[in-house]
Amino acid sequence: MRAVYPLVLLLVACQRDVKTPFPEGLEPLEDMAVEAPAPSGGEDYPETTTSTVGESDDYNWAHVRGYLHANIADVWELMRSDGPAMADRRDIDAWETTYDVEPEYDLTFVNHVTVNDIITLEWDLTYRGDLAGGDVDAPERYAIRFQKTEGSSLIDLQEGSIVLLATDDAVTEFQFIERLKAPQTSTEDPLTYGQDMHETLAVMLAGGAMPDWVE
């Protein structure tokens, strides 16, 4: 056994922290500005969210962070295959999903959004995402970006990023960031979108129907 010790010491000496880069174009918009939910009710990873919001001269923003009680592979499969579940359905009159718009990504679709409010607004939100850590058989991290790519000029900016992190075999961390600049919007709009998406995923992963928030 003594012959192993030099090898162990060499491995320890060579050990260093490394970062796995996000695929180009799928990096988060910025670092999360809020901590994950603290243990509560006897659960280390409660299926709740924490959040923070703010505004600048250029846009309103929100960060939402929480846990989902499901394996990361199951969370990813739902998100990549169900565009309506990813839509900001509160205050939207209609949406239509077109899949496989950017075949270089595993998650790739456009939600065509329509809002009727005095005038009709229509725009496209394009979503793209892929594996960003681990491998297909043992994923550790997925990354998603979304942004307005076409449509009404009144929607001056809508962009966001989502990161999924494998916490353990039955828990996934959800990180959501959105920036929004459009008439009659506030920080409440990106905040609600992130919270609604988390709740939608939680309900559907538990076998429930997609919540209906059309107003």
The encoded tokens of residue 88 equal 């900001």
Asked, for residue 51, whether it belongs to a domain, the answer is: yes
Task: Provide the terminal-to-terminal Cα distance of the chain, rounded to the nearest Å.
Answer: 69
| Chain-centroid distance, C-alpha 188 | 17
Asked, for residue 17, whether it belongs to a domain, the answer is: no
Domain of residue 107, residue span: 30-205
Least confident of 13-27, 71-85, 152-166, 173-187: 13-27
How confident is the model over 78-125, as pLDDT tens digits? 999 999 999 998 878 888 999 999 999 999 999 999 988 778 889 999
Asked, for residue 136, whether it belongs to a domain, the answer is: yes
How confident is the model over 57-72, as pLDDT tens digits? 999 999 999 999 999 9
| Chain-centroid distance, C-alpha 117 | 28
**What total number of domains does the chain contain?**
1
The pLDDT score that the predictor gives to residue 49 is 98
C-alpha span between 149 and 169 (Å, rounded)? 35
pTM value is 0.88
Asked, for residue 90, whether it belongs to a domain, the answer is: yes
CATH number at residue 65: 3.30.530.20
Asked, for residue 8, whether it belongs to a domain, the answer is: no
C-alpha span between 126 and 154 (Å, rounded)? 17
- Where does residue 97 rank: exposed (0-12), middle (13-18), buried (19+ CB within 10 A)? middle
The pLDDT score that the predictor gives to residue 1 is 43
Asked, for residue 211, whether it belongs to a domain, the answer is: no
Asked, for residue 47, whether it belongs to a domain, the answer is: yes
